[in-house]
Amino acid sequence: MSALPRAHDLGIIGCHVCRQVSLETKKAHARCPRCGAPLHRRKRDSLTRTWALLIAALLLYLPANIFPIMRTQSLFSKDDNTILSGVIELWRAGSPDLAIIVFTASIVVPVLKFLVMGFLLISVQRSSQWGARQRARLFRLVEVIGYWSMLDVFVVALLSALVHFQVLSRVEPLPGVIFFGMVVVLTMLSAMSFDPRLIWDNRESDD
Amino acid sequence: MESGQDLIVCEHCDTVYRREPLTRGQVSTCLECGAVLERHQWIGLDGQFALILAAFIVFVIANCTPIVSLGFSGMQSATTLWGAVIAMWNDSSQVVAVLTAMTLFFFPLTQILIFGWVLWFARDGIRAPGFAPAMIALYYVKPWSMIEVFMLGVLVAVVKASSYFEVVPGPGVWAFAVLTILITIFASHDSRELWNVTRDTSE
């Protein structure tokens, strides 16, 4: 056990919206005395919500990667790109640096989010004692990098608006990009539903 | 009990600390989990207001001027942010259109307007009318504003297009670049500190 006091043990609660510290009450719908936002000792149904959103994201992740996200059409050719083939094309076009950036944002980040969130959920559920500090750091990493996956969605939106040269050359969005956008939103919601304080709760001697 | 303002609770692990005044460049971190507790607020309220005002002007430019234009066998094609939103809507990707409009237009605009509103009053140490709901809204909108990601997206799109077309950057791309910088500077501030530097005058 560490010597540092935790809010719940002191009977106080910190507001996550304005950081005001107030006394914990027994009321079911306690509100912060300063800003009026609802106070929770821990986020409500954190594990269930995080799991549900994560699984939903995982299901949509399959069509997001299998279906093409963008069609490039010219007079004589039609070229459908998935997320992965878009990265490869960028690499071949002579921009390996950008290809690596896109690969990181569109493939590494989502996969990392699934793995990390799954790992955090399982370790909390099993009251794991292992490396709380490392797990806390993993969670913060997921929070920071999460929204960069929107990169490909914005690229498709921009190219579809720009490349509009009648029949000569056209870029159109394909359904994959819709699934991918939803995956990003769902994984972000999933990470927001997770309460990192749970990582530390289970380490304490029984309540 | 001590007043709530003397204490700070780590949001990531619930550990309680007594607040210490920070000097320039200092960041206090949680000893238990390593998360940032507080950063020194190195720009004053006037400075923050100036930043937001600048961000608002740049935001208007970014949205009204073309981001990039393409040239292809004598034809020209340019787009603004809204051009991209409308293109997605018309190409049966309404979900993406809404997502783009929200994360790149409505949420950033909401942030700028609310910050402008509360900072204008905070400069006199007063909480603006509607301060509490405004601050709650800021808290929830913050993770959904994605100008920085869009900036990188523009770069990728330009490179992809440049192998087939002649690409000319428009004023919009510079405006988005400046906006990204302004947002990054501003994001190093914890807006929740505004609660401590203003007083409630309604009572």
Please report, as a single letter, which amino acid is at residue B146.
M
* Residue B147 Cα, gap to closest chain A Cα (Å): 10
Please list every residue in chain A whose beta carbon sits closer than 8 Å to the beta carbon of residue B136: 17, 35-37
Q: Is B17 helix (H, G, I), strand (E, B) or coil?
A: strand
**Same domain flag for B32 and B120:** no
Tell me whether residue B178 is in a domain.
yes
Tell me whether residue B33 is in a domain.
yes
Interacting residues of A88 by C-beta distance below 8 A, sequence separation 6+: A99
Please list every residue in chain A whose beta carbon sits closer than 8 Å to the beta carbon of residue B34: 133, 136-137
Tell me whether residue B175 is in a domain.
yes
Q: Beginning with the edge strand found earlier in the chain, give each strand of the sheet holding B68-72 in spatial order.
A: B75-79, B68-72, B166-169
Residue showing tokens 């910088």: B181
* Residue A114 Cα, gap to closest chain B Cα (Å): 19
**Same domain flag for B91 and B26:** no
Q: Is A22 helix (H, G, I), strand (E, B) or coil?
A: strand
CB of A88 within 8 Å of any CB in chain B? no
Is pLDDT of B107 > 90?
Answer: yes
Q: How far apart are CA B12 and CA B203, in angstroms?
A: 34
Instruction: Name the token pair of A174.
Output: 């394909």
**Same domain flag for B94 and B128:** yes
Mutate one of B80, B91, B118, B144 to test the A interface: name it (highest A CB count within 10 A): B91
Of A90, A162, A200, nearest to B14 by CB-CB distance is A200
pLDDT digits (tens, 9 = 90+) for B180-195: 999 988 888 888 889 8
**Same domain flag for B21 and B111:** no
Q: Is B16 helix (H, G, I), strand (E, B) or coil?
A: strand
Mean pLDDT calculated for residue range B113-140:
93
**Same domain flag for B103 and B185:** yes
What is the complex's ipTM, to 2 decimals? Answer: 0.90
* Residue A72 Cα, gap to closest chain B Cα (Å): 11
Mean pLDDT calculated for residue range B134-143:
92
* Residue A162 Cα, gap to closest chain B Cα (Å): 6
**Same domain flag for B116 and B99:** yes
Look at residue B39 in the predicted model and tell me its pLDDT.
87
User: Nearest-CA neighbor of B102 among A56, A147, A82, A160?
Assistant: A147
Q: How far apart are CA A93 and CA B76, in angstroms?
A: 23
* H or E element at residue B99: helix B94-101
Please list every residue in chain B whose beta carbon sits closer than 8 Å to the beta carbon of residue A93: 159-160, 163
> Which pLDDT band holds residue B203 (cuts at 50, 70, 90)?
low
Tell me whether residue B166 is in a domain.
yes
Look at residue A207 in the predicted model and tell me its pLDDT.
38
Q: How far apart are CA B89 and CA B169, in angstroms?
A: 24
Mutate one of B72, B102, B148, B156 to test the A interface: name it (highest A CB count within 10 A): B156
Tell me whether residue B2 is in a domain.
yes
Tell me whether residue B202 is in a domain.
no
**Same domain flag for B72 and B153:** yes
User: Nearest-CA neighbor of B188 among B46, B27, B5, B64?
Assistant: B27
pLDDT digits (tens, 9 = 90+) for A12-69: 998 988 889 988 887 878 889 888 898 888 888 999 999 999 999 999 999 999 999 9
Is pLDDT of A1 > 60?
Answer: no
pLDDT digits (tens, 9 = 90+) for B40-93: 888 889 999 999 999 999 999 999 999 999 988 888 888 999 999 999 999 888
Q: Is B19 helix (H, G, I), strand (E, B) or coil?
A: coil
**Same domain flag for B126 and B175:** yes
Interacting residues of A48 by C-beta distance below 8 A, sequence separation 6+: none
**Same domain flag for B10 and B78:** no
pLDDT digits (tens, 9 = 90+) for A147-176: 999 999 999 999 999 988 877 788 999 999
Instruction: Name the token pair of A170.
Output: 């056209």
Of all residues in chain B, the one with the smallest CA distance to A197 is B13
How many structural domains compose chain B?
A: 2
* Residue B166 Cα, gap to closest chain A Cα (Å): 11
User: Nearest-CA neighbor of B67 among B149, B168, B152, B181?
Assistant: B168
Q: How far apart are CA A182 and CA A59, in angstroms?
A: 11
Sign of CA dihedral A85, A88, A94, A95: positive
Between chain A and chain B, the number of residue pairs with CB atoms below 8 A apart is 216
Mean pLDDT calculated for residue range A109-132:
92
Instruction: Name the token pair of A32.
Output: 């912060």
Distance of CA A56 to the CA centre of its chain: 12
**Same domain flag for B99 and B164:** yes
What does the DSSP assignment read for B142-172? GGG--HHHHHHHHHHHHHHHHTTSEEEE-HH
Q: Are strands B166-169 and B68-72 parallel, antiparallel or unpaired?
A: antiparallel
**Same domain flag for B110 and B28:** no
Q: Domain containing B70: what range?
A: 44-197
**Same domain flag for B105 and B136:** yes
